[in-house]
């Protein structure tokens, strides 16, 4: 079974993919991780993508799909796609590739959350200016200062409300066409993503027919 996880940034897609991997042995493919690894390795493709992203652009559909295909070529089943596809063009390329190998996307799970809940999650992180320790303002033991080194906690530019709203808008524009693309297929499911990771995992496993 091949699964695509869709959801807002902050909806916990990556966490759910990891839980599915641990419990059911899926391969977890995050194109974000693949791209970061390629950049870190300093390959020609990595350098090209690094340049594009430094200009505020995304990797092209073709480069992304090439990276993905290289990562899954030895295993075309039992994969969870996290952060991919990002566009309907990528979705079409993935369908074509899998079909060529007698496979398909069997399920698409949308982890649904209200925009308010997403914004709350995306803006809850604080980082120690001194040691880089990461904290969440909603955790019960949150203090105004770093408990490890006493440093000042700051909000990263990515975690401000303005930045979070922007990411949400970009995501909506990108993902709505994808939801439309997959919604007609029989394997499309939507689960409520507002609960704890364990609660959401129960819903995801049920939606996929892995658990009753």
Q: Could you tell me if 26 and 13 are in contact, meaning their C-beta atoms sit under 8 angstroms apart?
A: no
Q: What is the DSSP letter of 125?
A: E
Site for Zn ion in 103-142 (CB under 5 A): 128, 130-131, 133
Given the complex with Zn ion, which of 28 and 126 has the nearer CB atom? 126
| Phi-psi category of residue 37: left, alpha or beta, with phi > 0 → left and psi -120 to 50 → alpha | alpha
Tell whether residue 151 is a contact of Zn ion (CB under 5 A): yes
Cis ω for the linkage preceding 3 (within 30 of 0):
no
What minimum distance in Å lies between the beta carbon of 134 and Zn ion?
10
Which residue is catalytic, options 13, 121, 126, 189? 13
Please calculate the CA angle 6-7-12 and round it to the nearest 5 degrees: 110
Between 41 and 149, name the residue whose CB sits nearer to Zn ion: 149
Is 13 labeled as catalytic in the residue annotation?
yes
Task: Categorise residue 3: left if φ over 0, alpha if ψ from -120 to 50, beta otherwise.
Answer: beta
Q: Which part of the chain contacts Zn ion (CB under 5 A), choosing from 68-76, 148-156, 161-169, 178-186?
A: 148-156
| 152 part of the active site | no
Site string for Zn ion, 47-66 (x = CB under 5 A): --------------------
Sign of CA dihedral 5, 139, 22, 68: positive
103 is an active site residue: no
In terms of CB distance, is 139 or 184 closer to Zn ion? Answer: 139
Report if residue 148 touches Zn ion, rule: CB under 5 A. Answer: yes
Would you say 127 and 148 are in contact if contact means Cβ atoms under 8 Å apart?
no
31 contacts 67 by C-beta, under 8 angstroms = yes
Size of site (CB under 5 A) for Zn ion: 8
Tokens of 64: 């992304």
Annotated catalytic residue within 73, 148, 156, 206:
156
Say whether residue 152 binds Zn ion (CB under 5 A).
Answer: no
- Stretch (H or E) spanning 37: helix 31-41
Choose between 135 and 188: whose C-beta lies nearer to Zn ion: 135
36 is catalytic: no
As a whole number of angstroms, the distance between CA 203 and CA 212 comes to: 10
Given the residues 37, 48, 125, 165, the one annotated as active site = 125
Residue choice 5, 39, 146, 207 for contact with Zn ion (CB under 5 A): 146
Residues taking part in catalysis: 13, 86, 125, 156, 167
Residue ranges that bind Zn ion, judged by CB under 5 A: 128, 130-131, 133, 146, 148-149, 151
């Amino acid at each position: 079974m091949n699964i695509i996880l869709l959801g807002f940034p902050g909806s916990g897609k990556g966490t759910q993919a990891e839980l599915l991997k641990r419990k059911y042995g899926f391969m977890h493919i995050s194109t974000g991780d693949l791209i970061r690894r390629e950049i870190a390795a300093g390959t020609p493709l990595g350098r090209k993508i690094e340049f594009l992203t430094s200009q505020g652009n995304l990797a092209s559909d073709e480069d992304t799909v090439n990276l993905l295909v290289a990562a899954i070529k030895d295993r075309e089943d039992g994969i969870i796609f996290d952060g991919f596809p990002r566009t309907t063009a990528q979705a079409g390329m993935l369908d074509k590739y899998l079909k060529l190998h007698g496979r398909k996307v069997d399920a698409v799970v949308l982890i649904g959350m209200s925009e308010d809940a997403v914004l709350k999650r995306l803006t809850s992180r604080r980082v120690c200016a001194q040691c880089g320790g990461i904290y969440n303002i909603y955790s019960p033991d949150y203090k105004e200062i770093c408990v490890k080194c006493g440093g000042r906690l700051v909000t990263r530019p990515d975690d401000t409300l303005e930045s979070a709203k922007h990411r949400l808008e970009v995501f909506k524009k990108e993902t709505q066409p994808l939801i439309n693309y997959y919604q007609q297929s029989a394997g499309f499911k939507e689960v409520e993503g507002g609960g704890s990771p364990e609660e959401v995992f129960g819903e995801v496993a049920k939606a996929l027919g892995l658990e009753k």
